[in-house]
């Protein structure tokens, strides 16, 4: 569990395809990020937040591009 008031140390967004991880990039903890896809498919992303106390939280998101 993350303590109240613990600052974010880093945020990463990774995309996974059929062959495994394709892209890993550091992103800002605030604001937006834009991705452009050239073909329809279902894409899986893993958002990882690391806090200054060393605790990591991961969320998996699937996006369908039509």
Distance CA 51, CA 41 (A): 32
Residue 18: CB atoms within 10 A of its CB come to: 7
The mean pLDDT of 14-21, rounded to a whole number, is 70
The mean pLDDT of the chain is: 81
Place of tokens 């990882």: 48
pLDDT at 4: 58
For 62, what's the count of Cα atoms within 13 Å in the CB-facing half-sphere? 4
pLDDT at 57: 92
pLDDT at 3: 53
16-20 long-range CB contacts below 8 Å, 24 or more apart?
Answer: 16/44, 16/45, 16/46, 17/43, 17/44
């Amino acid at each position: 569990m993350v303590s109240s008031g613990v600052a974010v140390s880093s945020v990463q967004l990774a995309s996974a395809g059929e062959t495994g991880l394709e892209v890993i990039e550091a992103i800002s903890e605030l604001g937006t990020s834009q991705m452009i896809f050239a073909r329809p498919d279902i894409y899986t992303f893993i958002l990882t937040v690391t806090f200054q106390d060393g605790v990591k939280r991961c969320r998996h998101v699937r996006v369908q591009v039509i």
